[in-house]
Structure formats: C-alpha cells, structure tokens
Amino acid sequence: MLKGKHIVIGVTGGIAVYKVVDVVSRLKKLNADITVLMTKNATEFVTPLTFKSLALNYVVVDMFEEPRTWEVEHIAIAQRADLFLVAPATANIIGKMAHGIADDMVSTVVMATKAPVWIAPAMNTGMYTNAVVQRNMEDLKSLGYHFIEPDSGRLACGDLGMGKLASPERIVETITNAMVNRDLEGKKILITAGPTQEAIDPVRYITNHSSGKMGYAIAEEARNRGADVTLVSGPVNLEKISGIETIDVVSAAEMYDAVISRVDEMDIVIKSAAVADYKPAHYVDKKMKKTDDELSIALERTKDIAKYIGSIKAKQFFVGFAAESENVIENAKKKIESKKFDLIVCNDISQKGAGFKGDTNIVSMISKDGVVEHYDKMLKKDIAKIILDKTIK
C-alpha cells in the first residue's frame, strides 16, 4: 500500500522508543521505504542496529559522520521524504521545532523538509500539560504541523494521565491515511489490461505488444485509493497485485465474457487492454504443417467489448483507450462517439516513450464533451493517478 512512499522517522529520546520499533516494522510490511534518524538520547533506549535491521536502511545519528553518498545528507534525506514522522516526540524536540533550533540530525532534517510533518508526542503528564509545551504545540499546529495525540493511561514513570505515545496501530493508520488518498473507497472498478491471444492452432496465435503495465498501474493505484478492484488481464509477465481480484483470460472472447458478466455491478470501467480486433475464422486443432505454398489465414472480427458496454451502460463511468499511430485526436474522438466513452486516453504509439511495453507513456485525454488535454511523457503510474483523478471529478 505504501510502495514508492518514503517515510523519514525522527526518533527522539524517551522510553516510548521501543514502540516506534513496532511502527517501523508495520510500515515496512506496507512496503514503505524508511529512513530512521535518531538523536543521541534515543540511542540510549534502543540501538540504531534495531532500526537498521527493520527498515533495511542505514540510520543516521551523528550529523558529522561519513555520508553514505556524496550528497549533502540532511538536505537529501529531507527532499526524499514523502512524510516526516517524529516519534516519540519529546518536549525537547517540540520546543526546538517551535523555535527554529536545528542542532542535530533530527531537528535539522525536519526543518529542511517540505514534506508534511506528523508529530507523536510522548512524555510525562506534567510535562505534556505544561503551558510552555502546550503553547509550542499550538504554535506548530498553526504552522501546519500535524499531531497524533498521545493516549491517556499509566505512564512509564508511574503517573496516570495524558502523555502515552499513541499505539503503533494508530500511528501507522494515521500516517497511512494521510499519505494515501482514499477517494475511491466504496467504488467498484473493473479494469482490463494486457493483450489477447487469438489461437491459430495449438502452437500459434495472433497477439500484440501490450505488456499490461498501463492497466496494472491503474489497478494498483485504484486499490491504493480504496476501490474494490477487479482486473481482467490478458496473458502478461507481471506479478499479481495483492488485494485485488484478478481474472486471467487469454482470448478476446474470454475477455468479453469476463467483463460483460461483471459490468452491471461496477461503478467504473477502464478498458486499457489491447484487445485483438481480429481472430482466425477457423481454429485448426492439430499443428498446421508447413508446405512450400503461401499460406493465407482467414480472419474474422472479434466482439468489440467496449462498444457493447457503451450500448448497455447505465451508471458506469466509462474510460477507454485508443492506440493510434496517425490522426490520433481525430481517431480517438470517433471512438468516443462509437463506444460511448466518458473519457478516452489516447497514445500515439509511434512516439518514443509512448504506448506498449515501457514504464512511460505519452497521452492525451479527451472528455466526451470534446475537451482535449495533452500530457508530456510520464510514468504509467503517474498517468494512472491522473485518469483516476479525472474519473472521480
């Protein structure tokens, strides 16, 4: 769920450091990339090796130790962060952050970062309720820093009251929700991806170059945003995406059956598969023998899945793709009309970095009312985000 997200965790010195070990372990299981920074005091409670082993990454304590790469380390880490978590946050670090003091790795990187900063305080109740600490927290809140409020209960010092670090479950849930947009929660979405294969005989088939990467990127992004995802996939060499239903198909006819039997229950349908337009008119059930003569294979049209959906769809938001090598916009507009798409994503497959196989694409998107938007070359996963943003809008 957090694949591709980089979380920097600033660990400061309090007994609750041991709970942050669990936070790191949980975030790692969600596939986050993690860099842990520790204050010198934090290392009195847990060694850097513990965090190193769980985060599978180096841990920085000393500002002046040999850098891992020839970058200005505190700036590089600050820029890499998608989110900065300070946990446990002592009264000391909260005070330093509120007053612009940067005198160690944690306080320096947190000052340098432009990523959202989440602070999980943990301290004795007397300290937590102290007017100066409360004022510092209010100041930080008014500057846009976020807090994960501590729990109330028996503290390590034996006192009862506010100041226990929030549970690892709550910390992980809070920052996961903050990083992942859940705007597709409750929506059922069907995505098609990959090529189809149309058999000629038991060993040969007609297909195309689709790798499935575009459709899989959309499926993964939709899952991350809370959708209930069904992926109908042609034969591809991609790893299955966890947390979604994948239905493997081979031919256009199988893809048609898989899609049509599910379309009624869907809120959104996105057809990024490169479905064969033609299939051999007659399947030969034994391997065809070669001769010295020319060979012609009669082809017939496959069923147009998108066209059928366009003719029966009720509530569904319907997104199509167009793979074109000439008159891209004009041809895509014709497809909007004939297949009743609400949005079409067209790629000029003759351009370098666009279309089949690669991790990037160059697309234009056209809405059913004719508005055309062009995008520069970008990663398929970023195009997936834009398609889903438009779908939600």
Q: Applying CB under 6 A, which of residues 120, 191, 275, 336 lies at the interface with ligand PMT?
A: 275
Cβ-based neighbours of 22, under 8 Å, separated by 6 or more: 168
Q: What is the DSSP letter of 185?
A: T
Q: Which stretch binds ligand PMT (CB under 6 A): 36-44, 93-101, 163-171, 321-329?
A: 321-329
Of 364, 378, 288, give the one whose Cα is nearest residue 323. 364
Of 21, 80, 93, give the one whose Cα is nearest residue 54. 21
Integer Cα distance of 156 and 323 in angstroms? 63
Amino acid of residue 344? I
CB closer to ligand PMT out of 3 and 334: 334
Q: Which stretch binds ligand PMT (CB under 6 A): 11-19, 117-125, 179-187, 355-363?
A: 355-363
- Cα 143 to Cα 87, 136, 138, 356: the distances in Å are 19, 11, 9, 46
Q: What is the largest CA-CA distance in the chain?
A: 94
Interface map 66-105 toward ligand PMT (x if CB under 6 A) = ----------------------------------------
Residues 236-265 binding ligand PMT (CB under 6 A) are 252
CB of 266 to ligand PMT, least distance (A): 14
Q: Applying CB under 6 A, which of residues 274, 328, 365, 387 lies at the interface with ligand PMT?
A: 274
Is 346 a catalytic site residue?
no
Helix axes 305-312, 328-339, angle to 10 degrees: 50
Catalytic residue among 143, 157, 281, 288: 157
Tokens of 148: 């994960």
Q: Applying CB under 6 A, which of residues 35, 211, 316, 364 lies at the interface with ligand PMT?
A: 211
Residues 139-198 binding ligand PMT (CB under 6 A) are 194
Q: Which stretch binds ligand PMT (CB under 6 A): 70-78, 79-87, 239-247, 297-305?
A: 297-305
Whether 244 contacts 231, CB under 8 Å: yes
Of 385, 387, 3, 380, give the one whose Cα is nearest residue 176. 3
Please report, as ranges, the residues that interact with ligand PMT according to CB under 6 A. Answer: 194, 210-214, 252, 271-275, 277, 302, 304-306, 320-323, 335, 339, 347, 355-357, 361
Q: Which residues are designated catalytic?
A: 157
